[in-house]
Amino acid sequence: MRISKKATTIAIVNQKGGTGKTTTCENLGIGLAMEGKKVLLVDADPQGSLTISMGWPQPDELPTTLSTLMAKAMNDQSILPGEGILHHVEGVDLIPANIELAGLEVSLVNCMNREKMLKQVLDSAKREYDFILLDCTPSLGMLTVNALAAADTTLIPVQAQYLSAKGLEQLLQTVQKVRRQINPKLKIEGILLTMTDSRTNYGQQIDNLIRGAYGSKIKVFDQTIPRSVRAAEISAVGKSIYQHDPKGKVAEAYKSLTREVAANADRQRKLSSERAR
């Protein structure tokens, strides 16, 4: 019996903006593709930041986006294989998003099974990919709940600042609630500290604060993502950090994170295939 390939779906989530979700989604995804994995990135944010930073600067002009596919799922129409998927030169696929997704989020409220629409869209893709990464919107609304319902695991980028550490509580409560009510298999992949500056005492304090507060319950990745001007530029150039600044410390950091995430997914797959036996 051949075990069918089934993607590990990771929601990259934080209700606070500016924590490095999009940068992490793009560079982790392309990092996994560089390791030979088949990767689908999904822009689940009406602002379309991931779509723009991957080189489609006018997302509102794209004919088919995530909202098109979710609307089909809501209306029980079938989605064709590969429909709406864009191919990026660095070897990953993308389901783009634009402002239409904001309107769709509103209409989800009256839809039956409203938390599962994104999951329905992705179900057919799960057999085609090793990893599906969801770049979530900076809120805890219906789109984020859809992403958590579709995900196997969630990765939480947290900017190494005191206030963003406080917002974690609310996010973790949402994850718990989704786990209880909708998706009992949902795990937390880990907290990723972004925009860190280990040279300052303050940076070190925040690092210790988050590891101290959450490290016993949730994995906090050893690898942190340093603050860097070069990393801030990539959203304007449509390329990953590996192309833009391959020798820089951010590229190194994302490579190391990629290895950790890939190893984790392998472990989980082995565990579930052993349980299935």
Please give the pLDDT value at position 162.
65
Q: Which residues contact 277 (CB under 8 A, 6 or more apart)?
A: none
Please give the pLDDT value at position 156.
94
Q: Which residues contact 163 (CB under 8 A, 6 or more apart)?
A: none
216, pLDDT greater than 70: yes
Please give the pLDDT value at position 5.
64
The C-alpha angle with vertex 169 and arms to 255 and 192, in degrees rounded to 5, equals: 5
Identify which of 176, 114, 136 has the alpha carbon closest to the alpha carbon of residue 10: 136
Please give the pLDDT value at position 182.
94
Our count of domains for the chain comes to 1
88, pLDDT greater than 50: yes
209 domain residue, yes or no: yes
Token pair for 214: 């959450």
pLDDT digits (tens, 9 = 90+) for 172-209: 999 999 999 999 999 999 999 998 887 778 878 888 88
27, pLDDT greater than 60: yes
113, pLDDT greater than 90: no
**Range of lowest pLDDT (6-10, 47-51, 66-70, 164-168):** 164-168
pLDDT digits (tens, 9 = 90+) for 29-58: 999 999 999 999 999 999 999 999 999 999
153 domain residue, yes or no: yes
143, pLDDT greater than 90: yes
Percentage of residues in the chain having pLDDT higher than 70? 96
Identify which of 48, 14, 51 has the alpha carbon closest to the alpha carbon of residue 193: 14
Identify which of 228, 169, 156, 165 has the alpha carbon closest to the alpha carbon of residue 199: 228
Please give the pLDDT value at position 55.
93
Q: What is the pTM of this model?
A: 0.93
2, pLDDT greater than 50: no
Please give the pLDDT value at position 109.
82
Please give the pLDDT value at position 164.
61
2 domain residue, yes or no: no
Task: Tell me which residue range forms the domain holding 161.
Answer: 8-272
3 domain residue, yes or no: no
| Top-confidence range, 74-78, 104-108, 133-137 | 133-137
277 domain residue, yes or no: no
Q: Average pLDDT of 82-109?
A: 94
82, pLDDT greater than 70: yes
Q: What does the alpha-carbon distance between residue 208 and residue 204 come to, in Å, rounded to a whole number? A: 6
Task: Enter the DSSP assignment of 220.
Answer: B
Please give the pLDDT value at position 3.
46
CATH of the domain at 69: 3.40.50.300
